[in-house]
Structure 1
Amino acid sequence: MGDLGDLTWQRIVGAAAVMVAAIAIAVVLRLLTGRLFLRAGDTRWAWDDLGARLIRDLAMPLAVLLGLWSAVKVLHPPNGTLDVAAKVLTALTILVISLALARLIAASVSSIALARQGVAANVTIFANITRVVVLGVGILVMLQSVGVSITPLLGALGVGGLAVALALQDTLANLFAGVHVLASKTIEPGDYIKLSSGQEGYVVDINWRNTSIRTLSDNIEVIPNQRFSDTILTNYHRPAQDMSLLIQASVAYESDLEQVESMVIEVGQDVMNEVEGGVKDAEILVRFHTFAESGINFTVILRTGEFGDQFRIKHEFVKRLHRRFQKEGIGIPYPRRQIILPEGSTLSG
């Protein structure tokens, strides 16, 4: 066979055979790790899923990189070329491991946040910050491995970071506000909140810049995180999700208030026990409070499982109470006024 400098056809064919074998091994590992990942997904434990994903992410690229290094060794290039190949393959290996670790650690952070904040959580801010930090460290290590001094780079990043911080004050304010909101547990995904500016809905996600809430009309409103630090916020899921529901009603002056109170409590108990969203065995309170122009006003206090249940509870209670009042002959007063005229006066048509 012909000779290509220090390279012979035998070495080239041997290197090609090594690469083919490495690719075949990589494909087999991909299939095996894919099955392992599916098997781990059948269990309830989340950490085996993360471990299986890490193995799947690393197996194929590391097999290919190991094949490349073996092929280079088979070719036996000059020392200078070998050193360059070693640095490039080392850098690629560090990059692959950094990407896999970033994905693993970000998924771990998300899993921990999910466990702490409930099944409705969909928090991305911690996962994104973790991913950026791990990738940044990996890139610095990769640059160091190829002979690039990172000390001047770190100095330049410090000066550039100051300039970026001044230029992105609002963005950074939203970032730190989002971290503070999550750390202080002021709000969490799944909570129903209302701002003094009027926005209200269920918290869907808190990311590095804004918070998304889903309104009762199924629209998404996006609110900058910084808004939460300078506004009055009502969280209807704190300190607990169940809450009192106040319903206003009125009866005629001729009504027996003891009978009215007894009927209202009975209807309220039925609603609490039979309607979805009611708090079973909750104490139903009736408070008469006003001698109004047309009747006596009172407030009924019920309990609902969470904010969104109040509409169903109120709907059923009003229907049932109206039906019960009609059945028992309890009058619900209409607005009326009594006009007293001097003697001899008449109303002109």
Structure 2
Amino acid sequence: MELYKRIKQRREELGMSQEELAHKLGYKSRSTINKIEMGINDITQSKIKAFADALQTTPRYLMGIKKESHYLIGNIIKKIRIENEMSQIELSKLTNIPVAELNLFEQNNSLPEWNLIPKIADCLSVTPEHILGTSLQNCPICNLSYVANIKDDYEEHKQFHENFIKAQKIFGCVWSTEEINEMKLKAYDIFNEEENDTDKRYNACIDFMRCYFSRSLRGCNYSLDHVDFNTYAAMLLNQNHFKKRFGVSYKRLVDKFGTKSGLADGTTYFTPPIRNSEDTIPVDTQQPKKKKQTKDEKEIEKIIENTIENLSNTDGLMFDGEVPATEEEIEQLKSAMRIGLAMAKEKARQKFTPKKYRKDNQTENK
């Protein structure tokens, strides 16, 4: 299991919200925590300690270092110290750790505190991961960080890597996190610079949307059920947010990609549809019959259809009188109306039905 997944798991175990964790760590909003838990943003070695404290656990737990690995730390420190032709006294002077304490570490009779490991590693010219024996690696192709000598991490990287390669073949140009961060900044600078010619700014806008597309794919583990780039671009262009951002290039982009609902304004992560269980049912398997609508249900649906139609002919289905409601938002409105009308009909039935015909009265008489 990766670091970001352990952070999310531990937070949920504590019943802590993303907002609460963000506040504890000094972040301005939950969005940073959300990106970290999705594996989009990485955290530095020094920040792992802060996360561990906020989540009431240890850095070793978050990094997935097994208990038996702890007792190798002393051996590793001793081995590297000897390779560097350094005595315990010399290492003690460089780290300000007493010789007696260093000796306990090397004899595996005591474990170094977390804040001492980076200090020891720096003086021995190695990384903290080397001291901890985790062999943390970063795949140069899919850009996933994982611990190679932990089986679960190794298998997880293998699957993630395969998904990344498949996504590249299906969707074309798909960038890794490192490429996304580099290209996003570059594209942003180009399309915001008014002195650049229109073609250059237009192409930068496309690259900018490709960054979000690659990030959205990564967020769903490169699911092949994700929409293609052209469809995704149309969803972004349907948002007021991107209309303002792309400025003079917006109309030309819409001419190429069009607009399409599917992402709420300000949202860039597409959630692939959950496969229906019916997808795996053989064709000749008998399907359950669709429930027949009651008289009340038919009347409610008719009222809802008429209401939506009337609102559509005016400015009723608009947000702040500017942004048209999406299909998803209209469905949410229908659901709310359906519940409210059903409750109203039930109350009317209870109020106007004579007592002798009420079901509860009949039950009491039996």
TM-score, normalised on structure 1? 0.25
Larger strand percent: 1
- Point out the structure with max Rg over C-alpha: 1
Q: Which has the higher contact order (CA 8 A, sep 6+)?
A: 1
Instruction: Provide TM-score, normalisation by structure 2.
Output: 0.24
